[in-house]
Structure 1
C-alpha cells in the first residue's frame, strides 16, 4: 500500500495540472475495459447497455480532447504574439547586423592575407631569387628607378631571351632619370655618393657624368633590343625628378629595392600593394618625357653599334649627346648598354 500511495502522490500533481487529459485517459481505460467485458455482466440487455456506455464514454473523451486542444491554443497565443511582435519583428535588423559583421570579418581577413603577402627580403640571395621568380615566364615588365643598370645587365636581356625562345609578346615600360637634365643628374650623383663615396662593384664612382652615361645607355639598350625582337613592345620615359626607390614589376610580382643590397620588399600579383604599385608606375610614366621608340627603324644599329650610329640615333630622337663627348665616351655608353655589369652580382662559391 505504501508503494501505491507514493505512486499516487507523484501522479497527483501531474493529474491536477492536466485534469482534462487525466480524465480522458481514465475514461479511455474504462471504455477499453468495458469493451472486453462479457455481455452477461450487464444483464439480458447487456450488449445494448455496453454499447451505450462505450458510445457515451467516447463522446466524453472527444469533448475532453477538444477542451485540452483549446486550452493549449489559448496558452500558446500569448507566446506566439510575443514572438511575432518582438523577436520576429527584430529579425531583419539582426540579420542586417550579422551581414555587416560578416562583411567586416571578410574584409579583415582579406586585408590580413594581403599584408602577409608583402614580404621583406633580407639578403642579396633572397632579392636575386625574387627577381628570378618575377622574370620566369612573364609577359610584362615595368621599371622605375635611377638609371636602370640592373635592368640593362640582367632583366631586359633575360626577359627578351625567354620571350624569343617561347615566341611570345613582351611589354616593357621603363622610367629613368632624364640624362639631359643636369640638375637631376647632379642630385642623383650626390645621393649615391652620400651613401658610399668609394667605387662600387663596377669600379666607378657616381658623378653627374656617370649618371648621364648610364641613362643614355639604357635608352640605347631599349632601341637595340627593339630592333632585334619584333614582338617586343618597349617604352622609355625620362623623369626630371629622382627617387630613392626602384620598382620592378612583372606579371607575377612586384619588387621594391633601395640602395641597401640586403633589404627589399616583394608582393605577389593580386594583392593591394601590387595593384597600388602598378597604378603608381603607370601614372608616373604618363607624366615623364617620352622617348620616341617608335622611331627604332630610324638608324639601324649593328650588333656592336658604331660611334656614328649612336650619335645619329640620339640626334634623330632629339636626345643629342653632349658636345663634349668624344669617341671614347660614346664607346663607354655602348659598353654600358650591351655589356653592363650586374651591380648586385653575388660572388661565386668555390
Structure 2
C-alpha cells in the first residue's frame, strides 16, 4: 500500500504513459497465453486494439511534451539568443581591456629607477652606444659638454655615421633665469660640485655660453653632425637625456634617476615633450658655423667674434679671463659626477 501511495502521484502526472505501459504488459501476457485459455481470433483482436490504443497514447504524450517545450524554446530564443550579440560584444570589450592592461603593465615594467651613480653612469654609456640621435634638456649642459657630446661625436666619427643632437639649456642672456638656476643649485648644496666650483649667477651664465661654444666647435670638426641649441627663459629641475635606445631622467641627486626604453609610453611622450619644448626656445643659429672658424684652442678674439656674430653677445663686463674660462668649460669641461 505504501508503494502504491508513492506511485500514485507519478501515475497521475504520467497517466498516458502509465496506461500505455499497462496495456503493453497486458498485450504481452495475452501473447504468451495458451490457445486453450484465449481463442486465437480473440487474441489477435485484443492485441490489435491494444496496439492502437498504445500508439494513440504515445502520440498524445509526444504532443503534450511538445506543448510543454514550446514556451521553453520561445524563452530561450527570445531571451538568451537575443542577448548573445550584446554579450559577445561585452566579451570583446573585456578582451580589449585585458590586452590594453597587459601593454600598460609591460610599459610600466620598462620604467626603471636607477639608485646609484654607477647605475646611472652605466645607463648613460649604454645610451651612447651606437645612437644616431641625442636630445638634451636641462640647466646648463655641464655633463653634456664634458661626457655625452664628445663621446657621441667620437663614436659617430669612428663608424662614419650621421649624428643628430638637440640641446636645450637656460638662456645666458637672461640674468633672471641664470640667477634662479644658481639659487636653486645653491639651495640644494653650498659645497662645490665635482668640478670644484660653487654655483653663482655668473657661473650659470658661463656654463650656458660654454655649451653654445662647444656645439659650434664640434659642428666645425665633424661634417656628419647636425646639432641644434635652444635657449630657454625658464629652468627645469629635471635633466632629460634621450637617445635612440632609451631615456634617462636625472635630478640633482647623483644617486637617483629613472630610465625608460625606446617604444614605451614614457619614452615616446618624453620625446614629444622635448620636441615641443625645443620649438618654444630661442634658437641659436648654428647654420652660421662656417662664418667664424674656431681653432683647436679658440682664441679670445675668435670666441668674442663668434658670439657677436650669432646674436648672443657676451656681457660687456667680461674680460679676456672670462672668455678663456668659457672656452675652457666648453672644450675641457670636468665631469661634475666624477
Q: Does TM, normalized by the shorter one, top 0.5?
A: yes
Q: For residue 118 of structure 1, what is the aligned residue in structure 2? A: 111
Name 2:299's counterpart in structure 1.
Answer: 306
Higher deviation after alignment, 254-263 or 90-99? 90-99
Map of 2:90 onto structure 1: 97
Please list, as runs of the form range in 1=range in 2, the aligned pairs for 1:37-186 lying within 5 A after superposition: 70-186=63-179
| Structure 1 counterpart of 2:233 | 240
SS in 2 for 1:301: coil
1:338 pairs with 305, 311, 331, which one? 331
> Does the residue aligned with 2:249 lie in a helix, a strand or coil?
strand
Aligned-pair CA distance for 1:83: 0.5
* 1:230 aligns with one of 219, 223, 237: 223
Q: Tell me whether 237-246 or 106-115 shows the greater mean CA deviation.
A: 106-115
Q: Distance in 2 between matches of 1:67 and 1:269?
A: 75
Bigger mean CA offset, 245-254 vs 284-293: 245-254
Paired residues in the alignment total 337
Q: Structure 2, unaligned stretches of length 5 or more?
A: 28-34, 41-45
Shift of 1:67: 6.0
* Number of the residue aligned with 2:320: 327
Gaps of 5+ in 1: 1-5, 32-40, 47-52, 346-350
Is 1:290 aligned to residue 283 of structure 2? yes
What is the match of residue 193 of structure 2?
Answer: 200
**Cα deviations by residue, 1:200-238 (Å, 9 ceiling, x for unpaired):** 221111111211111111111111111222222111000
Deviation at 1:298, TM superposition (A): 1.2
- Partners in 2 of 1:300 and 1:26 — Cα distance? 120
Q: CA deviation at 1:107?
A: 3.2
Q: How much does 1:142 deviate?
A: 0.9
Q: Find the partner of 1:266 among 255, 259, 262.
A: 259
